[in-house]
Amino acid sequence: MSHDATDRLFAGSIPELYDQHLVPLIFEPYAADLAERVAAVKPGDVLEIAAGTGVVTRQLARVLPAATRIVATDLNVPMLQQARARGTARPVAWQQADAMALPFADARFDAVVCQFGAMFFPDRSRAFAQARRVLRPGGTLLFNVWDRIETNEFADVVTQALAAVFPQDPPRFMARVPHGYHDAAVVARDLAQGGFAAAPRWEVLSARSRASSPRAPAIAYCQGTPLRNEIEARAPTGLAAATEAAERALAARFGAGPVDGLVQALVFTV
């Protein structure tokens, strides 16, 4: 199976492990930030694309007025099923949808929001063009992407640890996809090619990633992301050993008790 296929494969136990381990580890602070930015534009209708297991959706349901309609979409049905299972504080419309072919009428939404999804789009300009198409005049696109992997310490340490486990063919999912779309100039170019005439506003947003032990981030990254697909492709029975190698590397860097690492992202508004 090609990288294009496995990089976007969130199936099996990945959605549940992702939601249980990775969401509280790195996504929750950015979800709260993004939801507050959406609330500030006072939208009547909001579309979320690449909603994953619903961490931003839950925040939107919490901070937006009850009259604001929220539609949350994702390409991966198992991720949406996990999101539905978690639920939201008030009703949300869940729908499977491809960000590059959104099944909505033109000028339908006041805001389109996407948390850490743009990196996964096979054609980002096309996805941005779709977002622009469904936005009403004066509407706003808000999204974030991870900064380079060296500024995201847990992901970097895990990637280096797995390179030692698989020296002939290091798993590079984390560097290639989640942390592979961090150049603001490239993002601005893709937005322009997608039809956004105005230059985006963007800022770097740092946070801390904390866990009770090194095992939590080791499981989060090795078993709760498509990195798992790369590990199992190299060693079908080697997931536990790879996770343990990541855990040892994290303990060597951050200690055997509670761990605390830097995470960093870029937040765009256009």
On the question of pLDDT at 134 being above 80, the answer is yes
Give the chain's mean pLDDT. 94
The pLDDT tens digits of the residues spanning 88-102 come to 999 999 999 999 999
The pLDDT tens digits of the residues spanning 9-57 come to 454 667 788 888 899 999 999 999 999 999 999 999 999 999 999 999 9
* Residue 157, pLDDT score: 98
| Helices (H), ranges, 177-214 | 184-193
Q: Report the pLDDT averaged over residues 247-268.
A: 98
pLDDT-based confidence at residue 1 (cuts at 50, 70, 90): very low
- Please say whether the beta carbons of 145 and 116 come within 8 A: yes
pLDDT-based confidence at residue 7 (cuts at 50, 70, 90): very low
Q: Report the pLDDT averaged over residues 121-136.
A: 98
What one-character DSSP code corresponds to residue 199? Answer: P
Place of tokens 């866990």: 211
Domains within the chain, CATH numbers bracketed: 3-269 (3.40.50.150)
CA 185 to chain centroid, in Å, comes to 20
Positive or negative, the CA dihedral 82, 147, 25, 227 is positive
**What is the C-alpha radius of gyration for the chain, rounded to an integer number of angstroms?**
18
Q: Report the pLDDT averaged over residues 167-180.
A: 96
pTM here?
0.93
- Please say whether the beta carbons of 48 and 74 come within 8 A: no
Task: Count the neighbouring beta carbons within 10 Å of the beta carbon of residue 171.
Answer: 23
- In percent, how much of the chain has pLDDT > 90? 91
* Residue 10, pLDDT score: 54
The DSSP-derived string for 111-160 is EEEEES-GGG-SSHHHHHHHHHHHEEEEEEEEEEEE--GGGSHHHHHHHH
* Residue 73, pLDDT score: 98
Q: Report the pLDDT averaged over residues 221-227.
A: 93
* Residue 12, pLDDT score: 66
Q: Report the pLDDT averaged over residues 142-152.
A: 98
Task: Count the neighbouring beta carbons within 10 Å of the beta carbon of residue 136.
Answer: 15
